Structure 1
Amino acid sequence: EHGTDEQRKQLLPEMLSGDQLGAYCLSEPQAGSDISAMTTRAARDGDDYQLSGTKAWISHGGEADFYLVFARTSDDRTKGVSAFHVPAGADGMEFGAPEQKMGMTASTTTQVLFDRCRIPADNLVGEEGQGMRIALGALDSGRLGIAACATGLGQAALDVASTYAVGREQFGRPITDFQGVQFLLADMAAAVEQSRATYLHAARLRDAGRPYSRQASIAKLTATDGAMRVTTDAVQVLGGYGYTKDFPVERYMREAKVTQIFEGTNQVQRMVIGRDVVRGAGDRGTSS
């Protein structure tokens, strides 16, 4: 959407075929939820830019073929951020040690460090100062993806828990005969369907070209909080077995936790939703 024709020609075919992997470098050690606080800088130097700073929590760090890096080109908090395409192996780019995470272990996460990393000026994505708009637009889309992933985690946990419960007997009968277990499974099923409905609604708005930022935040909040509850309850249904690696629900629970954190914490989602609700109420009050 924002890249030049040459950038699209260079990157998109390889990405779509799966031959190349990209990484998204937005967060920093002291700039997570508040991305306007980033300090990584890109200084123009003739026909090049020089990048200096540290990015944190970067998926595929050290493994990606290219990196979309957001850096300051001026001191303006919102209009001073720009986006750059940085190829793997660029001089002045290094990587920290892989983070030791409780989940998402199939994906490497590292810091990415830039020390006067020189890239051609043609690697600017969009125009100078458009980085914040590019980043926020990508976050809206990303939140839909996270909501879909969280819904899948919840569905998988429900499937394992319900199958186990049907075959598990205690006191001479299947535990599904007990209302307490039935209610637990019912709440899990309701949460999964609620998650699926909210993210599909937001996705339809996006596909129709309509505003969907608020709905994306609602979908992310609903689905990820739901996934955390459903996966935790799945472990409970399986009891001691749920706490072991003999069944996948312990992994689902660990994976679900990070969905409440990345692409904007769920506290940030509540801020986004709340501000939009207040703004809408104010507009109605003014018009009346």
Structure 2
Amino acid sequence: MKTYKYPAVLTIAGSDSGGGAGIQADLKTFSALGCFGTSAITAITVQNTRGVTGIHSIPTEVVQGQIKAVMEDIKPAAIKIGMVHSPELVQAIAEVLRQYQVPVVLDPVMVATSGDKLMQDETISLLQQVLFPLALVATPNLDEANILSDLEIRNVDEMKIAAQKILQTGCGSVLLKGGHLQGPRLYDVYQPQHGEVQVFESEAIQSQNTHGTGCTLSSAIAAYLSLGFPITHAIAQARAYVYEAIDQGKDVKTGEGHGPLNHFFHPQPLQKHELE
């Protein structure tokens, strides 16, 4: 009798009590794309669609324990890292992940959709020093890229310059998300360490429901990597998924602020890969 396994993905991120971003968005995305989701929670946020009012950090040894428990048993094929808001957590996560050869998608979450700051200032430089070099791809948005590159980004050409500068952290590639640029079209810039820059383009969707967009995109990339897609194809597929999730959820009211995407607009059955 043949034996199968599910394509598994691990998210290392914070919990969003409002359900639109963080661990909750990541697990919804993994499930919607036919993957088995696992998690290591770094922090518990007091949060809803209107903003973040509190952050409770999980002890570093507990975060490390969660990662090891999943990696040594379920063995995910890809890892997504989201909110890591303290220097101690950055060091602890890097220490554990160096033991495993698994592609990492790093979403350097610094600012929530509501504008609330989610990362301590002293954490940012350490993040660049120890976690960026472990990432196959880093996915900063414009606000985060402004901080990471120490530039003011106003157009696609400046996005390309910033991506090149962020590459100096040692990450394998950068997907700089341009969703905060004003205009009828959206542009994301992908720059690998070795290779040509690639610009992804799509139509802008007018919606209040964009909470968790960055979390969803990075976790979708990780899911497609787990399914066996090469990185540029994983990015293209993930962008298409997020586009539809925004479009299918734009007319839904959830809360009084920035609502979530519709992660389950077209859920895929849990995939099965045959074991050798």
TM-score with structure 2 length normalisation? 0.26
- Return the structure number with greater helix share: 1
Q: Tell which has more relative contact order, 1 or 2 (C-alpha 8 A, sep 6+).
A: 2
Structure ID, larger Rg: 1
